[in-house]
Amino acid sequence: MRRSYLYVPAIDERKILKASLLGADVVVFDLEDAVPDDRRDEARVLLERILGDEGYRSSLRNVGSVCVRVNSISTIDFYKDILLVSKLEPVDCIVVPKAEVDLSFIHKATGRSLIALIETARGFTRLDEVATSEGVEALMLGVADLALDVGGSLEDYENLEYPRVELVVKAKAYGLEAVDKVYFKIDDLEGFRRDAMRARALGYTGKQVVHPNQIPIANQVFQPTEEEIEWARKVVEAYEKARLEGRGAVRLEGRLVDRVHYRIAKRLLETLKTQGAT
């Protein structure tokens, strides 16, 4: 399950070497915001050297996905990043920041899956085009750059429901994963938990994290509980029995269960089965 997406500065060798040991489902080596403009060539050299080491590549087997966040398409660094990613065997996905256009060309050029980071006004107006790009597997929300792009307050945009709902609705409409925003107050773990729980309630499947302390919380919040799994089994069993009897809805432990509840429960169980969790 891709519940936690850990950003790792591609310029920091110590953090790169520790990344696979921290329990994140997805490691995102960051060549964009976490690297000063004048050190990006240095970061690319470092990342290529470390990911080329066989011992380090073995450690990455503990990670569900290995991604690189490249620079914006509008920069020369983007093309340097793409050339690098094409050579890095362990990297299976690319996080594309400020996604605003059809990204199919990136997938075709690299063969890697894509995560589209939506963090501009234009990106929100072109969500359909981005979401239907070949190779896109997930939409990711970025509120800091969005607030900057529209001239708004970061604090207000962190608490604004509209972009969160808009993104998750578009993601689900096209069968994509939805990855929630960064929570910047890294010492406020209870606040992070509340933020993650709200995201899950809205339909998000995972969360971006910027500190190792956030990883176990994200993994816990976005992992179905035993109670939820057991309830899903009861819903599927009760609804399928009712359907055989010619009924489209059934009362289960004082709650009405109809087709939409059945489909939600069925999807949860099928996802867990696919991932070997049941």
Q: What is the pLDDT of residue 184?
A: 94
Gap between the terminal Cα atoms of the chain: 13
Give the integer Cα–Cα distance in Å for 92 and 249: 43
Give the integer Cα–Cα distance in Å for 51 and 57: 6
Q: What is the pLDDT of residue 255?
A: 82
Number of CB atoms found within 10 A of residue 259's CB: 11
Distances (CA, A) of 9 to 12, 31, 38, 74: 6, 7, 14, 21
All residue ranges of the chain with pLDDT < 50 are: 278
Locus of tokens 């020369």: 76
* Paired tokens of 157: 């945009």
Angle at 151 between CA 36 and CA 11, to 5 degrees: 15
Q: What is the pLDDT of residue 276?
A: 58
Q: What is the pLDDT of residue 137?
A: 94
How many residues are listed for the chain in this entry?
278
Give the integer Cα–Cα distance in Å for 171 and 20: 28
